[in-house]
Structure 1
Amino acid sequence: MSSAILDNNWDLDVSNEALHVAVQKVHICALRNEFNEGEDDQPPTNHWVICLQTSPKSSIMLDIAPGYGEDGLRGKILVTLLDRSFTDETLRHFTYTPERPIEVKDILSIIQAKSRQAYTFSPEWEGCRYWISVVIDDLESEGILTDASKDALGKLSMYWICPDGQEPREMRKGNFSSSVNMIE
């Protein structure tokens, strides 16, 4: 896989070699909301990312982030190499082990093939939790993860309070669309 087959909903900040590395663990990570604040009269929530651990000291982070398109609600997947198992902004992480050998590029290919990179956030600028729940479900449907989807959904349905605790939080959903704008 190279950036030539990914559309304009990706922002790769990794080498081609990093995409050809085996994934040892899949972490979904709730990031710290240090002051437990919401925005625009909304209750607090965590931003979430997926970290594909490739060694005890490295991972590839997949961060679906809004801020693109005319209204800023179109997401892009930011793909970043980390020198740790998951981002140091993590408050809580939940780990799933692949059932078979798989490389980072294979997971990106599944996301692209199912048009999961073509994502628009909710009007409240929320949707990373829903996006992750769908990607984890896709990985389970492909036989890469087992019994991860229901477990992940339970974790993603919570607000993880900083520094400790949790409470149920409505999961707002964005929308997926077909994407044909390929990077040249």
Structure 2
Amino acid sequence: MPPPHEPLHFIPKSQEKHILSLPIQHILAAPHHQEAGTNHWCFYLATSPTTSIQLDCLPSYSVPSTVLANGSKANIVISKLDRLVSADVEATFALDVASDRTLFVRDVIDLLVENGRHRYEFDERGMGYRFWVTEQVELFLRCGVVDDAEQVEAVKAAVGTLWPEKVPLELDPGAY
């Protein structure tokens, strides 16, 4: 019997404790250059004006889905970056941290795990990034990580758009 799927991956692994202890100034949601007719989306947890932790939900392609036919379980990759966003980002959409709290990377990761969001599964094509991002911004608002509903709606509208063309694009849903 294979070992259970461990979906959280820190890069570099040796800095996991340090990464989790970093305060978040704001959260950016961002589409990357198109591949296969869609944009890959992820979060950047800004830890300074010039650095971030990339929070990226990716299909494993090797751990079979238990919910979606021929799909795969997700890996949540948490990477320390020496820049604010990756070079292939098409745009960024800011989510301000709720003004009444200090937010750490650990708080975001704990929230995802407590709500089962690390158990995401992608379809057989490995699609579903945008659906996952949409679900997390709603969770962030509902749990008080962010408190600006207009920013959340702006992110959701942007996620439903193909970049850089800025045309509507239906979400490819995954599952939990």
Into which bin does the TM-score normalised by the smaller protein fall? 0.7 to 0.9
Partner secondary structure for residue 117 of structure 2: coil
Letter in 2 for 1:170: E
Alignment of 1:137-156 (within 5 A): 137-146=138-147, 147=149, 148-156=151-159
Q: Which residue of 2 aligns with 1:89?
A: 88
Residue 67 of structure 2 corresponds to which residue in structure 1? none
Separation (CA, whole Å) in 2 of partners of 1:57 and 1:97: 16
In structure 2, the partner of 1:11 is 9
Distance in 2 (CA, whole Å) between partners of 1:122 and 1:150 is 25
- How far apart are 1:72 and its partner, in Å? 5.6
Deviation, 1:133, is: 0.8
**TM-score for both structures, normalised by structure 1:** 0.81
* Aligned sequence identity (%): 23
Amino acid at match of 1:168: P
| Unmatched segments (≥5 aa) in structure 1 | 1-6, 39-43, 177-184
* Structure 1 residue 166 corresponds to structure 2 residue 160: no
Equivalent in 54, 65, 69 of residue 63 of structure 2: 69
Query: Which one is further off, 24-33 or 118-127?
Result: 118-127
TM-score normalised to the size of structure 2?
0.85
Distance 1:8 1:73 in 2: 13
Aligned to 1:157: 160
Shift of 1:123: 3.0
1:153 counterpart letter in structure 2: K
Give distance in 1, aligned partners of 2:93 and 2:153.
13
Number of residue-to-residue matches in the alignment: 159
Cα offset, 1:68, TM superposition: 3.2
Q: How far is the alpha carbon of 1:78 from its aligned partner?
A: 0.7
Residues 50-72 of structure 1 deviation map (CA, whole Å, 9 limit, x = unaligned): 00000012100011111231356
Query: Any gaps of 5 or more consecutive residues in structure 2?
Result: 65-69
Aligned to 1:24: 25
Contact 2:71 2:125 in 1 (8 A): no
Measured on the aligned residues, the alpha-carbon RMSD in Å equals 1.5
CA distance in 1, matches of 2:157, 2:117: 21
User: Separation in 1 of the partners of 2:72 and 2:113?
Assistant: 19
